[in-house]
Structure 1
């Protein structure tokens, strides 16, 4: 069997592995029923759907010919480092600096990972995301997410 699209092959395998991993992890939770789903119901279903999507992409990579074989290029270390670092920074910043500072920090530092960084776009995105997150999580769902830095709320 010949791989006809290297990118689709590896992304299909990744989707299958991640989907099955989430589905397997969801088996530790109660499933409930269709009428009253438990906490494991949604992640299990989503994991299975992700694995099925990966199987479709994998099948496509083995059956549909792509010009040049669509090889996987060099590994993009800079964007990967920025994104992983940004997520770690956000995990630390949210409880310490609050959502008003942590979310714009997340958006701006993550935007630096790309080749076309523009301050105006990054600031506009951070404002929209912060307001939207406040509306959904704090105002709408009444979650206890710190809005302001901990040293201001004492």
Structure 2
């Protein structure tokens, strides 16, 4: 069987690999049953669904014909680095970095930093729309995680709230 779309085949294989790895990691937790779900139930189901989606994409890449074989292009390093860097920065700002003496900056600062840095991954940058998006995400995160779920983590920098 010939690969009709290299891009879909590679994407499907990656989905399968990540889904299986995620499900395997989730199986180390107590899964429980449908009626009494354990902490590993939801991650296991998500991992299996991701693997299933990968299998469908991989099968589709072998069946659906494309004109040029849909080759895999060059790796887009700039977006890749900005997105990964934004997520790392979010984690550092949210929890701080005690080894370097950086205190937690809180949820609001972390969400703004995440949004600003990740928006640099694209070809166009509009500061006004990025700040509007960051504000909506910060308010939504506060409402969802602090107010609705009552999760305990810093919302503001420690030097502001004490």
Fold conserved (TM > 0.5)?
Answer: yes
The aligned runs of 1:100-115 (5 Å cut-off) are: 100-115=108-123
Distance in 2 (CA, whole Å) between partners of 1:64 and 1:47 is 26
The answer on 1:117 being equivalent to 2:125 is: yes
The answer on 1:38 being equivalent to 2:38 is: yes
The answer on 1:131 being equivalent to 2:135 is: no
SS of 2:45's equivalent in the other structure is: helix
Divergent runs of 4+, >6 A: none
Under a length normalisation based on structure 2, what TM-score does the superposition of the two structures give?
0.93
SS of 1:67's equivalent in the other structure is: coil
The aligned runs of 1:3-152 (5 Å cut-off) are: 3-95=3-95, 96-152=104-160
Distance in 2 (CA, whole Å) between partners of 1:33 and 1:72 is 41
User: What is the Cα deviation at residue 69 of structure 1?
Assistant: 0.9
Structure 1 portions without partners, runs of 5+: none
User: What is the Cα deviation at residue 127 of structure 1?
Assistant: 0.3
Under a length normalisation based on structure 1, what TM-score does the superposition of the two structures give?
0.97
Structure 2 portions without partners, runs of 5+: 96-103
Q: Alignment RMSD, CA only?
A: 0.8
User: What is the Cα deviation at residue 153 of structure 1?
Assistant: 2.2
Q: Which stretch shifts more, 135-144 or 113-122? A: 113-122
Distance in 1 (CA, whole Å) between partners of 2:67 and 2:115 is 36
Cα distance per residue 1:30-67 (max 9 Å; x no partner): 01111110011111111111101000000000111012
SS of 1:65's equivalent in the other structure is: coil
